[in-house]
Structure 1
Amino acid sequence: MLKFHFHKYKYGKELLVDCFKISEIAGRSISLKELHATTFYEIFLFLEGEGAIIFEGSRLDFKSPVVLLLPPARPRQWDLHTRPDCSMVIFEGEFMETFLKDHLFLHRLHYFGNYDCPPILPLQKNDVNIFQQLTDNIREEIKSQSFDSQQLLRAYLYQLLIQLNRHYTGFYQLKGNLYQNTDMLKFRDFLKKYIREKQTVKEYADLLKMNRNRLNQLCHDTFGKDAHIIIRGELLQSCKNELLGSNKTIAEISYEHNFSAPSNFVRFFKSLAKISPAAYRAEYAD
C-alpha cells in the first residue's frame, strides 16, 4: 500500500499545514487508483463533480458540494466519475495540538474518529462560501508568508475545524458533549494506543480510574452505545487496517491483536464485518 508523508519543507522553512488545488500536485491527485494512506489529516472541498471513495473497505458515494474529512493512517481509494478540481487542506496533528497545548483536540472533532457516520459532509449552497473563504484564507497566507503567518494559519485552521464540526454534528444529529467530556476523549485516545493488547471494558475503566458501570454510562450518554461495542468496533478497525495496509498473514494479525487462535479471529471478524478476513483483503486490497 502506498503511504504519503507530509512535505514539511515545501516552502523552505518548516510548515505543517498546506492548502492547494488538487490540479497543482502531479502524481498525487484524487485520480490515484491505488490503495493508499497518509500520515497527515486531509480536508477536501468539492464544489463540482461526484464519485466515491473506498474508505477502510466501505464504498462511500458523494456528490458536490461536499467536504471529505479524512484522518491519517486510514486506507482509501478514489473512484471518481469525472476528474473535478477541488481545494485541499492538509496538516500534521502537532500543528494544532502543540499550539493549543491539548493533545486531545483532534479527538474532540466528531468527523475524525466517528465509525458510525461517514467522513462526508454534504453542504448547502449557503454553507459553501463559509468554507471556501476559510480555505482561500489559508492558501493565500501560505503564499504570502510573513513572520507571523504560523499564528494566523493556526487561527484560520482552528476556525475551519470548528465550523466543520458544528456543521457535521448538526447534519448527523450527533450529541455535542464529546467536546467537553474529557473522560471520553481519553477513552478514545486509549483505544488507539492499546487496542491490540487491551480489549475489555474493565481494562479501559482501570486506565480511566473509574468502574465499569460508570464507563458504560458515559459511553452510552456520549456515543449511544455500551463500552464493549465501542471496543469491538475499534478492534475490528485495527484488524481491517492491518489486512489492507500490510502483508502480514491472517495468523500474524490475529496473534498481534491478542486472539488466542486464528480461528477465533476469523469468527470475530465475520461476526462484525459479515465477511472473512481473507475475503475482505482480497476484495479491497487488490
Structure 2
Amino acid sequence: MIHFHFQKYKYGKELLVDCFNLSEIPGQSISMKEPHAASFYEIFFFLKGSGSMVLDGKKLDFKSPAIVLLPPARPRQWVLKSVPECMMIIFEGEFMEAFLKDHLFLNRLYFFGNYDSPPLLPVTNKNMQYFHELLHAIKKEIRNLSEDSQQLLRAYLYQLLIVLNRHYTACYNLKGNLYRNTDILKFKELLRQHIREKQKVAEYAELLRMNRNRLNQLCKEVFGKDAHTIIRDELLQSCKNELLLTTKTIAEISYEYNFSAPSNFVRLFKTQTGLSPAAYRGQYAN
C-alpha cells in the first residue's frame, strides 16, 4: 500500500492546504492503479469524465459533474480508462481546527465520518460552477501568498465545507444539522481515539459521564442506530484500514484490537463483511 503525506513547505513557508488541477501531478494519486491512501483530507471535483473507485471492497461508479470526499487514511483504488478533468483541494485537519478553536468541527461534517452513505456527491453543472469558481479563488490565493493569506484561505475552506455539507445532507436525506449534539461529536472523537482497547457501550458512556441508555438514545436520534452498532462500524473500519495500510498479521491485528483470539476477529469480520480478513486484504493485493 502506497502512502501520501502532506507537503507542508511546498510553497516555502508552512501551509496546510493546497489546491490544484489533477493534471499538475502526473503519475500520482488518481492516475495510479495501485491501492493507496493519504494522511490528509482530500476532495476531488470531477469536472469532466467518469470512472470508478474501489473503497472498502466495493466498487463506486461516478460520472461528472461529481465530488468525492475522503478523510485521512481511507484506502482506495481508482479504476479509470482515462484521467478525468479534475480539481482537488487537500488539507490537514489542524488547518481548520486551530482557526475555529473547535476540534470537533470536522466531525460535524457528514461526509467525512459517515459509513452509511458513500463519499460521493453528484451535483448539477450550476453547482459545480459555484465550486469551480471558489476553488480558483483558493488556488489563486495560494499562488500569490501574502501575510493575511492563511486567514483568507481558512475562510474560503470553511465556506466550501459548509456548502458541501448542505448538498451532501440533502442528497442522502440526512438530518443536516451541522451543529448537532456535542456529546455525539465527542463520542465519535473518543471512538477514533480508543477503538483499539474499548469496544463496549458502557466504556464510552463512562468517558462521556452519561448513562448508557442516554448514549443509545442520542445515537438513535442522530444516526438512526444504537451505540453498539456505531462502535462496531468504527471497529470494522479501523480494522479494514489496518489490513490495507499495514503488513501486520491477522493475529497481530486481532490482539491489538483487544480480541481474545484471532478466530473471534475473523468470525466478526466475516459476519459483517462476508469476507475473511485475509480475503479482504487479498482483494486489493490482486
User: Could you state the TM-score of these two structures normalised by the residue count of structure 1?
Assistant: 0.98
Q: Deviations over 1:35-86 (max 9, x none)?
A: 1111110011001111111123222111110011011111111111321121
1:114: Cα distance to partner? 0.3
Do the aligned residues in 1 keep the contact of 2:165 with 2:176 (CA within 8 Å)?
no
Paired amino acid for 2:129: N
Distance (Å, rounded) in 2 between the aligned partners of 1:222 and 1:180: 8
Rounded Cα–Cα distance in structure 2 between residues aligned with 1:157 and 1:263: 45
Q: Percent identity?
A: 69
Task: Please show how residues 130-279 of structure 1 align to structure 2 within 5 Å.
Answer: 130-177=130-177, 179-279=179-279
Corresponding residue for 2:104? 104
Superposed CA offset, 1:208-261 (max 9, x none): 110111000000000000110011111111111111111111111111111101
How far apart are the structure 2 equivalents of 1:285 and 1:227?
33
**Alpha-carbon distance between aligned partners in 2 of 1:252 and 1:134, rounded to the nearest angstrom:** 45
TM-score, normalization: structure 2? 0.98
SS in structure 2 at match of 1:59: strand
Q: Could you give the per-residue CA deviations for residues 176-227 of structure 1, whole angstroms, max 9, x where no partner exists?
A: 2352311110010011010110001100111111011100000000000011
1:234 partner amino acid: E
Where do 5+ consecutive residues of structure 1 fail to align? Answer: none
Residue 32 (structure 1) aligns with: 32
1:26 and 1:14 map into 2 onto residues whose CA distance is 24
Taking the TM superposition and a 5 Å limit, the aligned residue runs for 1:35-74 are: 35-74=35-74
Q: 1-side partners of 2:43 and 2:83: how far apart?
A: 17
Deviation for aligned residue 1:89 = 0.3
Task: Read off the aligned partner of 2:56 and give its amino acid letter.
Answer: E
1:31·1:83 contact (CA, 8 Å) conserved in 2?
Answer: yes
Aligned mates of 1:176, 1:86 — CA distance in 2 = 27
Equivalent position amino acid for 2:20 in 1:
F
Residue aligning to 2:14: 14
Mapped to 2, the partners of 1:52 and 1:111 lie a distance apart of 18
1-side partners of 2:253 and 2:10: how far apart? 36
